[in-house]
Structure 1
Amino acid sequence: MKQLSLPLDFTNSHSQEATWFQEILEALKIKDKSVFPDKFGLSIRQWLDKQNYAPIKTLSLFSGGGGLDIAFHDAGFDIVQMVELEDKYVKTLEKNSISGKWLENSQPICIDIKDFFPSTDLQVDFIIGGPPCQSFSAAGRRAAGVSGTNDSRGTLFKEYVRLLKKLQPKGFLFENVYGIIGSQKGKDWQAIQDAFKNAGYKIYFRILDAADYGVPQHRERLFIVGLKEGNYLFPYPTHGPDSPGQEPLITAKDALIKVDTSESIEEGINGKYGHLLNDIPPGLNYSFYTEEMGHPNPVFSWRSKFSDFLYKADPKMPVRTIKAQGGQYTGPFSWENRKFTIAELKRLQTIPDAYEIVGNRQVCIEQIGNSVPPQLGRILALSILDSVMAVALPFPMHYLPENKQLGFRRRKRQLTKIYAQKAKERIIFLNKNPKSILIKKGATKEQVVRYLSDDFTWSKHQLSQSTKINIEYELNDNCWVIIAQSAEIQENQNEFVIDVLPCWGNENWVLETDKVKLCAKQLDIHLFTALWKAFEEKLLEITGMADLVQLSGYYQYSPKITGIMNFEGELKADILWRILQSSVRGIGVAKQLSASELASLWGVAPKNIFSYLQSLRSIGYEVRNHNTNSQIPQGKYLIPYAFPTLTPRSVQLRKTLGNINE
């Protein structure tokens, strides 16, 4: 495949004049740029140790695995105490605080910050740290808004403010996700600013991308610097088009030069979707397998997954943000179609090779993904050392004018276009070498037995507390007919039929048939769920598409399929069947609605809505409310899809709607 060249303004071509970054390396006598963050930190520390200056006593809050602590320690700040709630992270801090280790002489404290009351003799000049960010994160925004300070984690900044008032340091550095600015339509951000100002601090803030400061990773975060006295400007980027001299960004491949190779590397990615990684061009993710990207055999619906799902790193660019939490398919994955090792992830986060992270693989990834990249932290710490603490450095510092706009968002849009072109070229290749998934002309018949469990496991084998279902498939290019009945009863008449068709305007209906008929021989709730499971199983088998959600599309967009449910003869059954009939048609689905609104749509009494919603969950429908997703307002309910979607792996399966009064 032809390699694309990036525009000049993106590859950071620059003149022969020395860049600011090169000036820093020269001053620190660093000649080899490989593993430069480690050498940078050590060289700064060694130079400062030779100077005659008073230690800057610093308190670290929400220390995690120690990313900011590494940075500020390297820049001459004396980290006297590190406060962290999670014992598994404190073990890392303890390991690296003993004599001869990176954070030697620091004191980790495992305690909830709400219970942390420093002794009266503790005096500090500076405080660093950022509270947990999940309540302001992209995951929160995706789930219908950002919970922000409505979430207990979103109020931890108040404990930060309490300690500022108690200890009265000269200043502080606070880090968080930039979603904090838009949380609750800006109300939370205003409350946070007011709280810091009321504690006696003038605040300065910017959203920065770590890649602009020598980190081989794009990671946008909000930084707040608060000062009792004086003024502050954020430092210019050391790398990228916005940097003095335009030093090139550090690529993922360059960051991994001479990395430790002793850790065993797991070949490939296992599981249902692991094989898909091989065809994804470096820099792209699951969206490569979508209709919108032009894939000949779409597997996923547009924006139905998080951006790190099956994300493969591009060796010629910094990687996307490393996440602390994720599933089996959460990237970044190596361009070699495998998981990155812990040693490699540390390099991509600029955590020193010699810094020991304690715990199993997942615990290590949590600490890496939650930390501030030390190289970004070092530049910020040096700016504070220079402009606030008046320590003369051996190289000049360059500061951003207050109104100077950085260009990383614009460059991100440019990069999106470049990767779209890469996907297009790869898809042209696949179209020339298609993998046929089409049903041949004529009918395909099959009879199978499946078992449906209470946790919505769909299995070929009998499990405890499972219901036996007989399934009959008759598939042709006019219609897929899927028939279900319980046990061994052979009924001639269908009790209900669900017609599934592409919505008007959906020209890319991936099934090589006009419609799908789901037929039940008994009026049995288990059969309703089983028919959708059987349809999903065949959808995956024939098309490779991940699940019914991908066929229909992510619920925040217009659905690509519609369902029509009809009953044979006069229905003499519970009203729940009428609600199912409405839901299949999309009535009351994909919108946040109150009980009275749902009652009006379904023609039932509002007082019974909660009971019916519980019944829908028992059938396999995902039903959300404030109790399951705090971003949803009290009194509102959300049924994302017109069909049951719960599986044994569903997060929602482990949540409850609470009770009618919650």
Structure 2
Amino acid sequence: MVVLDLFSGAGGLSEGFFRANSTFVAHIESDKYACETLKTRTSYWKLKENNNLSIYYDYLLKKITKEQLWELANISDLEEVICKEISEHSFDNLVYKIKNNLKKTQHKKIDVIIGGPPCQAYSIIGRARMKNSIENDHRNYLYKYYVKFLNIFKPKIFVFENVPGIKSAGNGKYFNDLKKSIEDIGYSIQIKELIASDFGVLQNRKRIIIVGFKIKKNKKYSYPIFEKIENKNYFVKDVLSDLPKINPGEKIEGLNKYTKKTNSYLKMANIRDVNFNILTQHETRPHNNRDREIYKEAILAWNTKRERLCYKKLALTRPELISHKNTNSFTNRFNVIKENTNASHTILAHMAMDGHYYIHPDITQLRSLSIREAARLQSFPDDFYFEGPRTSIFRQIGNAVPPKMAEQIAKKIKELVIQDF
């Protein structure tokens, strides 16, 4: 299955397609650090294919640099990760590079195009934050380039993912134009809102997943039936239980740092293999004492009353902790990860700016989630290494499609490609 990955981000969706043994002709992404993450993960898969993962593990243990890793994995031979914004200016050059990669890999055509443009311009939260400036945001129209790639490479199937808000953004104008544009170039478009918790991810994350089929005569098309994985026997605490306690602003990495053996959920979700014992990026952001006291109140409210902390009520009971006069604006700012539930609330890119919405449930730690914990709740495996500063990494994680969800999607798409649907 030959795949082109557009607006790749850190590679959550492509991780699922890697697991389905896909060949990528390119990952196209504009963010520098996300591109470095893609290069590192591409190195992992190439080394795994050649039974040479010891090189990758040397990188995780900081014995070699990322540049040495990329060189040893020979990823420079094919410009598979293209760090470039998709625009009118870059489009023709990107098409040239993709066609050149096809020749180098000796593949005649692309079977599947995956990806989705940045969702900030479509998400309800993004629209609220950006207000009137949202109308002039160029990201509203990036879907047009997705359609142009479809029209040039004409894959059998495509997978377009985005936030549920894409259907209502611009009063439906963008979505309706996307749908019509795709149908006009000869694709049957099928749309559903899926939730990550149906696919073995312990998170209530909703995504619009559009699947399109190149139309053939006398052929009827329906939405693929993706295999679901029930979460009823797993709890959020299963994601966190084997990681060491850590203070705000600290980092714990290296061999033999896990406090327990892996568990059935971590194995099922491909997060931590039985033999994997290298902990990386268990790193937290710093917090001041006032915020940590608020975290304590939030954890107590949930543990004793099953209530979410209300900042306005806190102003009455603990006025010394209040830093914002307008308490109405921060009513739902603080949120604890519910360890005894089957799915956490959604991990968002906003985590890069504020950890208050992702408070670790252990009252002895009083901190927000570490990078590794957030990645795990998104179902990223522990051997997935994110490049860049902490803020960028949280953004990469929050923007991603959960790899376990992507894996279930990719399995079915590969089956359809082989069957030629």
| TM over 0.5, shorter chain | yes
Partner of 2:18: 73
Shift of 1:96: 1.9
Report the AA paired with residue 312 of structure 2. T
Structure ranking higher in helix proportion = 2
Are residues 1:288 and 2:310 paired?
yes
| Aligned amino acid, residue 311 of structure 2 | Y
- Taking a change above 3 Å as real, the CA distance of residues 306 and 57 of structure 1, as seen in their structure-2 partners, is farther
Deviation at 1:214, TM superposition (A): 0.8
Asked whether the equivalents of residues 5 and 113 of structure 2 are also in contact (C-alpha less than 8 Å), the reply is: yes
Instruction: Write the distance in 1 (CA, Å) between the matches of 2:348 and 2:292.
Output: 19
Q: CA deviation at 1:187?
A: 1.9
Question: Aligned-pair distance for 1:250?
Answer: 3.8
- Give the corresponding residue for 1:238: 228
After TM superposition, the structure 1 = structure 2 runs for residues 182-331 of structure 1, keeping only pairs within 5 Å, are: 182-229=168-215, 231-235=221-225, 238-240=228-230, 247-248=231-232, 250-259=234-243, 261=258, 269-270=287-288, 272-280=290-298, 281-282=301-302, 287-291=309-313, 296=317, 304-305=329-330, 307=332, 309-317=333-341, 318-326=343-351, 327-331=353-357
Q: Work out the CA distance in 2 between the residues paired with 1:94 and 1:268.
A: 29
Change in 2 beyond 3 A, CA 1:161/1:138: same
Q: Please give the secondary structure, in 2, of the residue aligned with 1:225.
A: strand
Quick one: higher RCO (CA 8 Å, sep 6+), 1 or 2?
Answer: 2
Q: Any idea what SS the aligned residue of 1:100 has?
A: helix
- 2:86 maps to what in 1? 113
Cα offset for 1:311? 1.6
CA distance in structure 2 between the aligned counterparts of 1:249 and 1:134, rounded to whole angstroms: 34
3-state SS, counterpart of residue 96 of structure 1: helix
How far apart are 1:210 and its partner, in Å? Answer: 0.7
SS in 2 for 1:58: strand
Could you tell me how far apart the structure 1 residues matched to 2:327 and 2:368 are? 24
Map of 1:13 onto structure 2: none
How far apart, in 2, do the equivalents of 1:238 and 1:360 lie?
Answer: 35
Q: Which residue is equivalent to 1:90? A: 35
Aligned to 1:504: none
Deviations 1:443-474 (A, max 9, x none): xxxxxxxxxxxxxxxxxxxxxxxxxxxxxxxx
Cα contact 1:214–1:250 (8 A) shared by 2: no
Mapping for residues 522-561 of structure 1, pairs under 5 Å? none
Q: What is the CA–CA distance in structure 2 between the aligned matches of 1:274 and 1:188, rounded to whole Å?
A: 42
Aligned to 2:377: 348
Q: How far apart are residue 386 of structure 1 and its match? A: 2.5
1:620-659 matched pairs, under 5 angstroms: none
1:274: Cα distance to partner? 3.6
Listed one character per residue, the Cα deviations across residues 227-276 of structure 1 (whole Å, up to 9, x for unaligned) are 10352324356245xxxxxx516422112343464566659832653421
Q: Which whole-Å CA distance do the structure 2 matches of 1:333 and 1:319 have between them?
A: 11
2-structure distance, mates of 1:148, 1:249: 42
2:367 aligned with 1:338: yes
Q: Distance in 1 between the 2:289 and 2:155 partners? A: 51
How far off is 1:176 after superposition? 0.8
- The 1-side partners of 2:241 and 2:116 are apart by 31
Q: Of 153, 171, 174, which aligns to 2:139?
A: 153
| Per-residue Cα deviation, 1:413-463 (whole angstroms, up to 9, x for no partner) | xxxxxxxxxxxxxxxxxxxxxxxxxxxxxxxxxxxxxxxxxxxxxxxxxxx
1:324: how far off? 1.7
- Secondary structure at the aligned position of 2:140 is classed as helix
Distance in 2 between residues matched to 1:249 and 1:305, nearest whole Å:
35
- Residues 8-87 of structure 1: matches in 2 within 5 Å? 56-87=1-32
Alignment of 1:228-627 (within 5 A): 228-229=214-215, 231-235=221-225, 238-240=228-230, 247-248=231-232, 250-259=234-243, 261=258, 269-270=287-288, 272-280=290-298, 281-282=301-302, 287-291=309-313, 296=317, 304-305=329-330, 307=332, 309-317=333-341, 318-326=343-351, 327-336=353-362, 337-390=366-419
Tell me if structure 2 keeps the 8 A contact 1:177–1:221.
yes
Residues 82 and 218 of structure 1, relative CA distance in 2, 3 Å threshold = same
Q: 1:329 to 1:374 in 2, by over 3 A?
A: closer
Q: 1:210·1:217 contact (CA, 8 Å) conserved in 2?
A: yes
Q: Secondary structure of 2:95's match?
A: coil
* Farther off after superposition, 178-187 or 111-120: 111-120
CA apart distance, 1:373: 0.3
Alignment: residue pair count: 329
CA distance in 2 between counterparts of 1:268 and 1:90 reads 27
Distance between the aligned counterparts of 1:223 and 1:295, measured in 2?
Answer: 44
Distance (Å, rounded) in 1 between the aligned partners of 2:384 and 2:414: 24
* C-alpha deviation, 1:199, in angstroms: 2.1
C-alpha distance in structure 1 between counterparts of 2:25 and 2:285, whole Å: 43
| Structure label with greater radius of gyration | 1
**Offset at residue 289 of structure 1 (A):** 3.0
Shift of 1:136: 1.1
**1:100 matched to 2:84:** no
Cα separation, 1, equivalents of 2:284 and 2:14: 31
Structure 1: distance between partners of 2:48 and 2:285: 33
Distance 2:308 2:334 in 1: 5
Q: Which amino acid aligns with 1:93?
A: L
1:304 is displaced (CA, Å) by: 1.9
User: Structure 2: any 5+ residue segments left out of the alignment?
Assistant: 50-55, 57-72, 103-108, 244-256, 259-278
Letter in 2 for 1:57: V
Return the letter of the residue paired with 2:360: S
- Consecutive unaligned residues in structure 1, runs of 5 or more: 1-55, 241-246, 393-662
Distance 1:382 1:182 in 2: 30
Q: CA deviation at 1:334?
A: 0.8
Taking only aligned residues, the RMSD between alpha carbons, in angstroms, comes to 3.2
Measure how far apart 1:295 and its partner are.
6.5
- Mark the CA change 1:249 to 1:356 in structure 2 (over 3 Å): closer, same or farther: same
User: Hey, what's the Cα distance between the residues in 2 that align with 1:157 and 1:149?
Assistant: 15
8 Å contact from structure 1 (residues 71, 377) kept in 2: yes
> Which letter does structure 1 place at the counterpart of 2:47?
G
2 CA distance for matches of 1:226 and 1:266? 40
| Aligned-partner Cα distance in 2 for 1:140–1:81 | 28
Q: 1:153 to 1:250 in 2, by over 3 A?
A: farther
CA gap 1:182/1:211 in 2 versus in 1, 3 angstroms: same
Scaled by the length of structure 1, what TM-score is found?
0.45
| Contact 2:202-2:344 at 8 Å conserved across structures | yes
User: What is the match of residue 482 of structure 1?
Assistant: none
Quote how far apart the aligned CAs of 1:166 are.
0.8
| Structure 1 pair 153–303 and aligned structure 2 pair: CA distance change class (3 A) | farther
